A and B are shown apart, each in its own frame.
Chain A
Amino acid sequence: MVEQLLDSLAHLPMQRALLACLLCGLGCSLLSVFVVLMRMPLVGVAMSHSAFAGAVIGMLLGLHPTASGFVLCLLVAGVLGPVSDRTRLPPENTLSIFFSFMMGLAFLGIGMLSKTRAGVLDLMWGNLLSLSGRDVALLGWTTLVLILFLFLFFKEIRAVLFSRTLAASSGVPEKFIYYALLFLVGAVVSSNLSTVGGLLIFALLIQPGATALQLAYDLKLFFLISALAGVSACVLGLALSYILDLPSGASVVMMATLIFALSYIFSPKRRAAKSS
C-alpha cells in the first residue's frame, strides 16, 4: 500500500496535492498561533465564509471563484480590525457579525445558483486532487509572505500577542501588526479555499495552535510545534484519504484533531497546572 502511495507521487495532480498540503498546513498553523493566543477562534470562520461568499458571488457573475473569494476575503480582512477598533465592539462580536453576514450572503448566492452547486461543494470541502498550477503558486506566494512577515516582525508580534495596550505603550506600531496579521489570515484562508475547503480551514486555524499551547512556553518553539502539527495533519490526512479512499479535507481535520488530543493527553503544562 505504501508502494502504491509512493508510485502515485509520480503523477502531477498528486505532487500538486502534496505540495499544497504542505503549504496549507504551514500557513494555517503559523497563523493559528495568532488565532489561539489572541483568543479569536471566530476569525477562521469569518474569513473562510467571506472567501466562500466571494467565490459564490464570483460563480454567479461568471468570474473565477478562487479570485473573487480571495478579493472579498482580503476586503473583509482589511476592514475587520479598523471596524472593531473604531466601533469599540469586542473583536468576537465584530467577527460574529461579519461571519453571519457572510454566511447569509453565501447561502443567498447558493440559492440563486441553479446548475453549478457541485462546484460550491468543492469550495466547502476542498478537492486536493484537482488543483491547478496557479492555485499552488498562489499558496506558495502567500505562505512565503507570511513567513517573511513573522521573521521580520517577530518581536513586535510577540509584544502585540502579549498585550496590545502594552505593545502600543512601548512604541510598537501595534495597529499595523494587528491589522497585518488579520490581513494575512484573510490571504491564507482564501488561497487555501480549494485545498482543504472553506469550512475545514477553521480547524487548521485552531488545532495546531491549540496543540502548541499544550506543549510550549517559548514563543519560537510554539510556532515550530504549531507548524509541525499543521503540516503533519495535512500530509498524514492526505495519505489516509488516498489509502482509505476518504474525502481529503475531512481526513486532514481528523488528523489535526488526533494530534491535538495526543498533545492534550501528554501535555506537561496541563500536568504542571494540575499538581500546583
Chain B
Amino acid sequence: MSAPVIEMRAASLRKGRHLLLDHVDLCVSRREFVGIIGPNGAGKTSLLRVIAGFEKCAGEVRLFGRPQRGNRGTRVRVGYVPQSVEIDPAFPILAVEAVMIGLSGRLGLCRSPSKKDGERAMELLEIMRVAHLARRPFGHLSGGERQKVSIARAIIQRPEVLLLDEPTANLDIAVQKEVLNLVEEIHEREAPAVLFVTHDFNMLPGAMRRAVFLDGGRIVYDGPSSEALTGENLSRLFRYPLETFQRGGRRFISLG
C-alpha cells in the first residue's frame, strides 16, 4: 500500500453545541476511490471541508504527510467540487474561464495563464463532453453542465486528492450516470485519490472499492464496498428497512 495522502486521527469538529465530526480516524492512499456514505446530517460535507482546509478541527489532520493548515501549498493539490455552484445568470464569466479558475492558485500571483493552459482547459471540457459550451456564460448552463464544468475546474489543478460532494445531486438520472462515468474516466486518466460523497446507492461509481459509512459524525464502517452494501448494514445506517439485489453484476438498493 502506498503512502497515505490523507491521514485523520481523532478529528473532531464542533459548531456551537453540535458535534459534526466525532473522533474520526481515516487514512486514504494515492489513487484510492473512497465512497463516503451516510444519511443527511451525518457529517459527510463537514468531513470534506476539514480535508479541504476550510474548517479547523480538534485532533490531527495531515495531507501529503504534513499537517493541514489550509495554506496554498496544500490547497493547490486538493480539488474540491461542491454540490452546486449558485451564480447570477448575468455574472460575467464564460464556461472556459470558470475552468481556468482552477489554475489561479497553481500559477501563483501576478502570472497569467498561458496558451497551453487554455488548450488544457478546452481538452478537459472535451473530456467532460461540454467543449461546445466553452464560450457560453457559466450562469446560462444547466445544473448538469455546470457540474461537468466544475469537475473540469477541479481537475485542471492536477489534484492529488479530489473531493466530490454529492456531484450528482439534483441531476436527472441520465446526467447522473454520465457524470459518474466521467468521474471514473478522470480517476483512470489522472489517478487522484477520490473521496466521493453520496447517499444515492443506485448511482455508486464502479471504481469505488472502499466505502466509509458516517453516522452522527462517527465512522461506523470502513472497508470494502462489496461487503459494506448489504441490506442489513444500510438498514442500520439509515434506520429504515432496505434490501439489496444484484442485476447485471451490479448491486442495487430498494426499500424493504
Which residue, A153, A166, A171, has most C-beta atoms of chain B within 10 A? Answer: A171
- State which size class the interface on B falls in: 35 or more
| A169 (CB) vs chain B CBs: closest residue | B80
Which residue, B53, B109, B157, has most C-beta atoms of chain A within 10 A? Answer: B109
The answer to whether B93 and A169 have CB atoms under 8 Å apart is no
Known contacts A155-B112, A172-B104, A217-B137; A166 and B153 CB within 8 A of each other: yes
| B94 (CB) vs chain A CBs: closest residue | A217
Known contacts A152-B109, A171-B75, A269-B90; A165 and B101 CB within 8 A of each other: no
* Least distance between A209 CB and chain B CB atoms (Å): 11
The answer to whether B106 and A171 have CB atoms under 8 Å apart is yes
A222 to B105, CA, bound (A): 23
Instruction: Tell me how many residue pairs across A and B have CB atoms closer than 8 Å.
Output: 91
The answer to whether A167 and B104 have CB atoms under 8 Å apart is yes
The answer to whether B76 and A222 have CB atoms under 8 Å apart is no
**Which residues from A are CB-within-8-Å of B105?**
170-172
* Least distance between A210 CB and chain B CB atoms (Å): 10
**Which residues from B are CB-within-8-Å of A217?**
92-94, 137
B residues 200-214 touching A (CB-CB < 8 Å): none
Tell me if A163 counts as interface (CB < 8 A to partner B).
Answer: yes
A73 to B238, CA, bound (A): 53
Of the listed stretches B30-38, B81-89, B245-253, chain A binds: B81-89
Known contacts A37-B91, A162-B93, A222-B92; A155 and B104 CB within 8 A of each other: yes
| B135 (CB) vs chain A CBs: closest residue | A217
**Which residues from B are CB-within-8-Å of A154?**
112
**Which residues from A are CB-within-8-Å of B104?**
155-156, 158-159, 167, 170-172
**Chain A interface main SS type:** helix
Tell me if A144 counts as interface (CB < 8 A to partner B).
Answer: no
Tell me if A254 counts as interface (CB < 8 A to partner B).
Answer: no
Tell me if A168 counts as interface (CB < 8 A to partner B).
Answer: yes
**Which residues from A are CB-within-8-Å of B54?**
165, 168-169
A165 to B93, CA, bound (A): 16
* Least distance between B42 CB and chain A CB atoms (Å): 21
**Per-residue interface assignment for chain A, residues 156 to 190, with 1 indicating a CB less than 8 Å from any chain B CB and 0 otherwise:** 10110111011111111100000000000000000
Tell me if A213 counts as interface (CB < 8 A to partner B).
Answer: yes
| A273 (CB) vs chain B CBs: closest residue | B89
A residues 182-228 touching B (CB-CB < 8 Å): 212-214, 216-219, 221-222
**Which residues from A are CB-within-8-Å of B109?**
152-153, 156, 173
* Least distance between B185 CB and chain A CB atoms (Å): 22
* Least distance between B147 CB and chain A CB atoms (Å): 13
**Which residues from A are CB-within-8-Å of B110?**
152-153
**Which residues from A are CB-within-8-Å of B102?**
170
| A152 (CB) vs chain B CBs: closest residue | B110
Q: Specify which of B75, B76, B87, B107 is in contact with A162 (CB 8 Å cutoff).
A: B87
* Least distance between B187 CB and chain A CB atoms (Å): 19
Tell me if B78 counts as interface (CB < 8 A to partner A).
Answer: yes
Q: Specify which of A153, A167, A170 is in contact with B106 (CB 8 Å cutoff).
A: A170
A222 to B92, CA, bound (A): 7
The 5 closest A-B pairs by CB, nearest first: A171-B105, A171-B76, A169-B80, A171-B75, A170-B105
User: Given contacts A153-B110, A171-B73, A219-B97, could you give 11 more A-B pairs where the C-beta distance is less than 8 Å?
Assistant: A155-B112, A156-B109, A158-B104, A162-B101, A168-B54, A169-B78, A170-B76, A171-B105, A171-B157, A172-B105, A269-B90
A-B contact pairs, 30 of them (CB 8 A): A37-B88, A37-B91, A37-B92, A152-B109, A152-B110, A155-B104, A158-B97, A158-B104, A162-B91, A162-B93, A165-B54, A166-B153, A167-B104, A168-B54, A169-B75, A169-B78, A170-B103, A170-B106, A170-B153, A171-B72, A171-B104, A171-B106, A172-B104, A172-B105, A212-B92, A216-B92, A217-B92, A218-B92, A219-B93, A269-B90
